[in-house]
Amino acid sequence: MNACAGDLPGSLVTSDASLQREFEERLSDCPTLAYRVALGVLRNPAEAEDVAQDAMLRAYRNFHRLRDRDRFRAWLVRTAWRLALDRIRAAGRRERRERVATENCFGGDVETIAAGREIEEQVAAALDQLPEKLRLVMVLAAIEGYNTREVATLLGLPEGTVKSRLFTARKRMAESLKWLVKNTPVE
Amino acid sequence: MACEKYSSRVTDAVLGALPSSEHAELIAHLGGCDACRTAYQRGGEVAALLDRGVSSLVEGAPSSAFAARLRARIAEEHVPLRWTRGTRVAATAGAFALAGALLVAAIHAVRGGNPAPAIAWKALAPAPPVAESVRAPALGILVRPRPRRVVNARASHGDEPAVLIDPSQLAAVKEFARALAAGRMDGKELVSGQRKIETPLQIRELKIPPLQTAAEESHPLAEDYGGL
């Protein structure tokens, strides 16, 4: 995405060259953020990319209000999240498409990969069961490497609130997933 | 099964939410309790599994065509970056100014170049004859109605200067001039409409002392201006 920043054509209609330059700088990392937020909801790379496109286009139209970097990222996260949820509701379904992957984070051989996919589906299902506020915190924490300060900045919340929501979310998910680890009395 | 006292602490510790003082106490307990130690280990596995699982759900990046596709959409919709507030205000003011200019030009065209709105109704009326003009010697002027076309007043009446009066005020000015000519009005008493102005203007001579200069040295412009 770093190549995008300087590749925008000069024919783009703009009434403010400085705004245009600043928006181009955002293209280095913000599309990936929007994509990953959408992916946390949709679980489908193609749909997530569509949502990220829509979010970035809306950000371009409203960029005069979003020139601050933190504000832009926060706005983009909320917009991508909302667009992804709207897409699910419009489709009228909760099931997710199978994610196409040749390997996952859980192992290498066929049996392990299959087991890993099932675990991934179970994790996704547990994530979907969370209330929206908890789910968003969980997704952003996973994106930001569980840096609660960054997540708090993105959501415009106190860091303590983020920590509390993150703890509650992980506790609920652990309760749903405890059977994956046999005889784990997580209470 | 973990000890009843420490079971909730095991979960909190696994999720990283246990206060440090309680965490130390729990670790000390784990050294002597197999059940709690097993629960702690498995809880840690579950936490790691869900963290790893959620991270895998959101990892990745847009395709290499993402930027090109975004640029194409922006260019296709001709989406301009939103104007700043000042630009929008200026554009609105400019639009109103243009509309006003067009309106004035339209009115000007309708009235055939005569800018005086008061005589628009006179457009079809014949120009008043010269006899309608009234001389006002006291004023040293000749009062006559404003012609439909602006003419050189000096050329039409020789040496006497002419004052162009709007037809809507012509009757009042004529009456005023006649009153002055007939001596019925001495100029000190003014009547505005049907009211009599109680305190007319008092004209008094204003005596201005000569200008005091700092030095009486010659000034390059003194001759031109008769001294400073």
A119-134 pLDDT, tens digit each: 888 899 999 999 999 9
Chain A partners within 8 Å of B79 (Cβ) = 13, 57, 60-61
Residue A18 has pLDDT above 90, yes or no: no
Q: How far apart are CA A31 and CA B74, in angstroms?
A: 15
Rounded percentage of chain B residues whose pLDDT exceeds 90: 6
- pLDDT at residue number B135: 53
Asked if A67 and A74 touch (Cβ cutoff 8 Å), the reply is: no
The ipTM (two decimal places) reads: 0.77
- Residue B80 token pair: 């301009």
Q: Which residues contact A23 (CB under 8 A, 6 or more apart)?
A: A59, A60, A63, B81
Q: How far apart are CA B26 and CA B185, in angstroms?
A: 115
**Banded model confidence at residue B227, pLDDT cuts 50, 70, 90:** very low
Residue B162, beta-bridge partner list: B142
**Quick one: average pLDDT of A165-176?**
92
**Quick one: average pLDDT of B33-62?**
90
Chain A, 43-82: which have a CB under 8 Å from a chain B CB?
43, 45, 49, 52-53, 56-57, 60-65
Closest C-alpha among B48, B40, B33, B51 to residue B13: B40
Residue B95 has pLDDT above 60, yes or no: yes
Q: Are strands B195-196 and B162-165 parallel, antiparallel or unpaired?
A: unpaired
Q: Does A125 touch chain B (CB under 8 A)?
A: no
| Test the A interface: residue of B49, B83, B88 with most A CBs within 10 Å | B49
Asked if A77 and A157 touch (Cβ cutoff 8 Å), the reply is: no
Q: How far apart are CA B65 and CA A50, in angstroms?
A: 12
- pLDDT at residue number B174: 83
Measure in Å the smallest separation between the Cα of B60 and chain A Cα atoms. 7
Using CA atoms of B68, A144, A54, A97 in order, give the dihedral in degrees to the nearest 10: 100
**Quick one: average pLDDT of B145-151?**
52
3-class DSSP string for chain B: CCCCCCHHHHHHHHCCCCCHHHHHHHHHHHCCCHHHHHHHHHHHHHHHHHHHHHHHHHCCCCCCCHHHHHHHHHHHHCCCCCCCHHHHHHHHHHHHHHHHHHHHHHHHHHCCCCCCHHHHHHCCCCCCCHHHCEEECCCCEEEEECCCCCCCHHHHHCCCCEEEECHHHHHHHHHHHHHHHCCCCCCCCCEECCEECCCCCCCCCCCCCCCCCCCCCCCCCCCCCCCC
Question: Is the Cα dihedral A171, A177, A182, A185 positive or negative?
Answer: positive
A165-174, B123-132, B164-173, range with greatest mean pLDDT: A165-174
Asked if A42 and A135 touch (Cβ cutoff 8 Å), the reply is: no
**Banded model confidence at residue B209, pLDDT cuts 50, 70, 90:** confident
Decide if A174 and B43 are in contact by the 8 Å CB cutoff: yes
Q: Which residue of B has its CA nearest to A48?
A: B62
Chain B partners within 8 Å of A181 (Cβ) = 42, 45-46, 49
